[in-house]
């Protein structure tokens, strides 16, 4: 009976030591416990998607990078400017209907001479502008690039150079017809940039 108990006791001791060996081997240094080894690794949380940096868009062109104001009118008269950059400083002239006569003064704010960058103001119906401009170019510098006695020309100033000023007055009734009417510079090539509308309101 004693020997049976001894064998049984030894069997228990061996079983317990076998269990303790398994648990110690599974946590040996450097080993990963089986519960974590079999678990799938979590992927890192995706970073919030940020749109790729793109170059700043250019600013929208102002309608008129390019719009010029309407001329300021006082006492049935206005003063506009022409520059060496081949530009008027206004895009339109509105003549008050109460005016009987109207005066336009042109100031050349540049420094270039009349032979290189001359400016004037010529008023015609919009439909006549191109033909008047072409005939003025043929007339030449002697006539200030305006064909003499051209019936299509409602009014015009003389041609001036940098630092000079000129003016012209005309009856408002001349721009109260069918229209529309335009003002422009008759110096060859300038009317492409130097033109605007003139109307009565």
Please give the class, per CATH, of domain 77-200. mainly beta
The strand pairing partners of 171, in sequence order, are 101
Does the structure show a pLDDT above 70 at 164? yes
Residue 126 CB coordination number (10 Å): 14
Is-contact 107 81, C-beta < 8 A? yes
**Which residues 6+ apart lie within 8 Å of 107 measured at CB?**
79, 80, 81, 82, 164, 165
- The CB density around residue 143, as the number of other CB atoms within 10 Å, is 14
User: Looking at residue 67, what is its pLDDT?
Assistant: 83
Q: pTM of the entire structure? A: 0.67
Cα 181 to Cα 126: distance, rounded to the nearest angstrom: 5
Question: What is the mean pLDDT of the segment spanning 147-157?
Answer: 97
Segment 54-64, tens digit of pLDDT: 444 444 433 33
């Amino acid at each position: 009976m004693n020997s049976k108990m001894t064998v049984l006791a030894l069997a228990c001791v061996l079983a317990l030591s076998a269990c303790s060996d398994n648990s110690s081997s599974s946590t040996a240094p450097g080993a990963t416990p089986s519960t974590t080894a079999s678990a799938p690794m979590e992927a890192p949380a995706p970073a919030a998607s940020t749109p790729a940096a793109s170059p700043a868009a250019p600013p929208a062109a102002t309608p008129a990078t390019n719009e010029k104001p309407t001329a300021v009118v006082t006492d049935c008269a206005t003063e506009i400017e022409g520059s060496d950059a081949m530009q008027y400083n206004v895009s339109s002239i509105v003549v008050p209907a109460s005016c009987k006569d109207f005066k336009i003064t042109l100031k050349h704010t540049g420094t270039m001479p009349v032979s290189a960058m001359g400016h004037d103001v010529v008023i015609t119906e919009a439909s006549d502008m191109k033909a008047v401009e072409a005939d003025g170019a043929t007339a030449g510098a002697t006539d200030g690039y305006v064909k003499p006695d051209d019936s299509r020309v409602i009014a015009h100033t003389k041609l001036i150079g940098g630092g000079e000023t000129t003016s012209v007055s005309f009856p408002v009734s001349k721009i109260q017809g069918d229209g529309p009417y335009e003002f422009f510079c008759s110096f060859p090539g300038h009317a492409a940039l130097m033109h605007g509308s003139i109307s009565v309101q």
